[in-house]
Amino acid sequence: MWAIGSSLGLNLGKRMLEQRIGFIGAGQMATALGQGFVKAGLVAGDRLIASDPVADARQRFARATGGATTGDNREVAGQADVIFLAVKPQQMAAVLTGLRPAIGPDKLVVSIAAGIRLAALAGGLGDEARLVRVMPNTPCLVGQGACGYCLGSEATAEDGSLVSTLLASVGIAYQVDEKLIDAVTGLSGSGPAFVYVMIEALSDGGVRMGLPRQVATALAAQTVRGAAAMILDTGEHPGVLKDRVASPGGTTIAGLQALEAGGIRAALMGAVETATRRSIELGAG
């Protein structure tokens, strides 16, 4: 298991990729990835193309990335070298059936659909398809994504390198065994929503104590950002950093007692477990 950090991704991004990148589905995640690739200097907007049946989604993708759009999935498959499957898990079977005639060994197919296993993708596109399964998250839009990915049996080392380069341009990327992708989905895929709730709750606490809402939200968000940076930059265990803030008899330890009384650890662990199990359910159909 290994990771590529955002700094490496940005350095790689100085050399633009030759491949054309396509998206089947032009929703939020496809737009986040496409815009992230362009912002990182990895691909030019005119090297992106996305399909979606919803006109508003196509327009948002085009505005955000500068890429081309279409309502025809096969047009994307025909033009793109790397094809991201960015559709809902429930739509995947029908999408694969429609794409199969257009997918040859010259195409690299990258699925970002939660729960859809490599075996299901190969069943829909053919056993010779070059496949990679990825779980990104929406902070890719601001270059702070946390992604996991695994390679299909026909994917080459070069395919893995290309995908890791794309993902590293928008955050960090870990290659894991496929059996762990559902856990990545439950943790970093769903995790931003859990953190937003935490930030909102911290802001509410500040407002309750008299702070203006805008100030409270900014302080809460920056506090989360700073604490995360401390962990990533120092490599120290969160518990060690927590203990350094919590002086004996002080304000922090009093607040920590309130968190423990509210069951915050169990709630967050349960959220990751529940999201992981839902990913497994989606993959089981």
* Digit-coded pLDDT (tens) for 212-247: 999 999 999 999 999 999 999 999 999 999 999 999
Domain 191-284 has CATH 1.10.3720.10: no
Domain locations in the chain?
2-178, 191-284
Domain 2-178 has CATH 3.40.50.720: yes
Judge whether 2-178 and 191-284 match in fold.
no
**Cα–Cα distance between 228 and 191 in angstroms, integer?**
13
Q: For residue 144, give the nearest of 172, 164, 166, 124 by alpha carbon.
A: 172
Backbone angles phi, psi at 68, to 5 degrees: -80, 160
> What is the spatial order of strands in the sheet that 68-70 belongs to?
2-4, 171-175, 145-151, 130-135, 108-111, 82-85, 21-24, 48-51, 68-70
Given a cut of 60, is residue 7 above it in pLDDT?
A: no
pLDDT tens sequence across 182-202: 999 999 999 999 999 999 999
Given a cut of 70, is residue 59 above it in pLDDT?
A: yes
